Amino acid sequence: SGRLSSKVERAHPTMMNADMDAVEAENQVELEEKTRLINQVLELQHTLEDLSARVDAVKEENLKLKSENQVLGQYIENLMSASSVFQTTDTKSKRK
């Protein structure tokens, strides 16, 4: 029985080491997966920031163009009201 217990004692640390190695390998895989996911999240955040900045720039450009269009529209309206050609057309359409 003494011989048997010494064999078990000698085998036991080896099994513990194998189990620890397996757990360590599993932890390493989890760590790599977490690192990959964190990098992916950071990349997506940067993409979102870039898109947000682009949207802001487009909004600003849109407001500028709307303002220019209003000025041009008013200018065209003023030209049309000052022109006898358009005044005649307006008079004819009012008679109908």
DSSP 80-95: HHH-HHHHHHHHHHHH
Residue 36 to residue 56: CA distance in whole angstroms: 30
pLDDT tens digits for 22-61?
A: 889 999 999 999 999 999 999 999 999 999 999 999 999 9
Kindly report the pTM of this predicted structure. Answer: 0.53
* pLDDT confidence of residue 2: 52
Q: Which long-range contacts (CB under 8 A, 24 or more apart) does 67-76 make?
A: none
Q: State the average pLDDT for the chain.
A: 83
